[in-house]
Amino acid sequence: MIDKKRIRNWILTSVSIVFLFLLLAYLNKHASSYVIQILNVTAIYIILTVSYNLINGITGQFSLEPNAFVAIGAYTAALLTMTPQEKAMTFIIQPCISPLNHISIPFLPAILTGGVVTAILAFLMGIPVFRVRGDYLAIVTLGFGEIVRVFATNLIPLTNGALGLKGLRQYTNIWWTWGTAVVVVFFIVGLVNSSYGRAMKAIREDEAAAQAMGINVFWHKMLAFVVAAFFEGVGGGLLAHLLTTIDPRLFTFFLTFNLLIMIVAGGLGSTTGAIIGAILFAWGSELLRWMEEPHVIFGLHTPGIPGMRMVTFSVLLILLMIFARNGIMGRKEFSWDGLFSFINRKVLRRA
């Protein structure tokens, strides 16, 4: 019975993914480059929110790491894909340090290395932080974000300072972004729905009781943090090769703040919610960007107010925290079984 359902769900999931990629293929061919760009950004947001939610929502450890980790992934991958000639042309203030100045590797190993470097840094950060109880993680990750920004600005032979890295090849396309997003969701949902995920949720719900279950709280917080870091680093690499230009201003705390809005709006602790939050934010902020520009609507001039987007999002977050703390999904997840029982209930009620 359970196995039959599992096979049905597996087929439904596979069909949906095939359908998603057919749709993307169609859009890739016929949609404007503007729409394709938003689609790419949507997928990168999904990668980041689903990872961020693992540490923040599933394991319940309030963390403010994404901007730092995305930056590290982005810089690492970019420095690895740039050719020696490109580096020589980009690093005009001071030359790029050796051996990076004559290293160049393909895109996939470069973004994976970005993920690994980020994961290693997360691990080192986790050792002191997860040894003690309490909300040090938020403070440490926030501080780390600043450190990364200062390094990115001042460590000129490594990062080219405020000028950033320019002229990256645009390796990232719709297949890379959505392919990675699907893989990340697959991995993290697998982890969350396993014994490991239950251990992480147990830590969120009651740390002492989790210990009484024999769970090593330190290692499971670490596992969630390092896995999140790896995928955030990979997301950073994809972002760098989508935008083709990165500089320190791209990775300010606003990035983390935006991701926080996405996962809270979607429902902290719900992977489904994280995905919904990412989609709504990516498309919603385009709508708001339009509102920031001056328009003539039915003969009325609306002035463009720059910065309206940030204000709107901040107000939205405040309203969410007051009136809808659980977000769209709460801690519920989408499942085929849930969908069918929902449809059944509706049909039965009507019959």
Partner 1 sequence: MAAILKTEGIVMKFEGLTAINNLNIEIQEHQIYGLIGPNGAGKTTAFNVITGFLTPTEGKVYFRGEDITGLKPNKITKKGIGRTFQNIKLFPEMSVIENVMTGFHIHRKFSFFEAMFRLPRFFKDENKMYHEGMELLDLVGLTEFAHDQAGSLPYGHQRKLEIARALATHPTMLLLDEPAAGMNPQESSELMDLIRKLRDEMNLTILLIEHDMKVVMGICEWIKVLDHGEEIAEGTPEEIRNNPRVIEAYLGEARKVA
Is residue 334 near partner 1 by the rule CB under 8 A?
no
**Minimal distance in Å, beta carbon 185 to partner 1?**
11
- With beta carbons less than 8 A apart as the criterion, state whether 142 and 69 touch: no
Query: Roughly what angle, to the nearest 10 degrees, separates helices 253-266 and 33-53?
Result: 80
Q: Which tokens sit at 12? A: 């439904």
Q: Which tokens sit at 218? A: 């330190």
Contacts of residue 99, defined as CB under 8 A and 6 or more positions apart, other chains included, come to none
Is residue 216 near partner 1 by the rule CB under 8 A?
yes
Is residue 202 near partner 1 by the rule CB under 8 A?
yes
Positions 158 through 197 that interact with partner 1 (CB under 8 A): 187-188, 190-191, 194-197
**Minimal distance in Å, beta carbon 209 to partner 1?**
4
Q: Considering the complex, state which of residue 162 and residue 209 has its C-beta at the smaller distance from partner 1.
A: 209
Q: Considering the complex, state which of residue 214 and residue 307 has its C-beta at the smaller distance from partner 1.
A: 214
Chain-centroid distance of CA 337 in Å reads 27
**Minimal distance in Å, beta carbon 210 to partner 1?**
7
Coil vs helix vs strand at 336: helix
Q: Considering the complex, state which of residue 108 and residue 212 has its C-beta at the smaller distance from partner 1.
A: 212
Q: How far apart are the first and last CA of the chain?
A: 26
Q: Which of 213, 315, 324, 343 binds partner 1 (CB under 8 A)?
A: 213
Q: What is the H or E stretch that residue 302 is in?
A: strand 300-302
Q: Which of 99, 134, 214, 299 binds partner 1 (CB under 8 A)?
A: 214
**Minimal distance in Å, beta carbon 168 to partner 1?**
29
Q: Which of 198, 283, 288, 334 binds partner 1 (CB under 8 A)?
A: 198
Is residue 222 near partner 1 by the rule CB under 8 A?
no
From CA 269, how far away is CA 302, in angstroms rounded?
39
Count the residues of the shown chain that bind partner 1, applying the rule CB under 8 A: 28
Contacts of residue 324, defined as CB under 8 A and 6 or more positions apart, other chains included, come to none
Is residue 2 near partner 1 by the rule CB under 8 A?
yes
- With beta carbons less than 8 A apart as the criterion, state whether 259 and 48 touch: yes
Biggest CA pair distance of the chain = 75
* Contacting positions for partner 1 (CB under 8 A): 2, 187-188, 190-191, 194-199, 201-202, 205-206, 208-217, 223, 227, 331
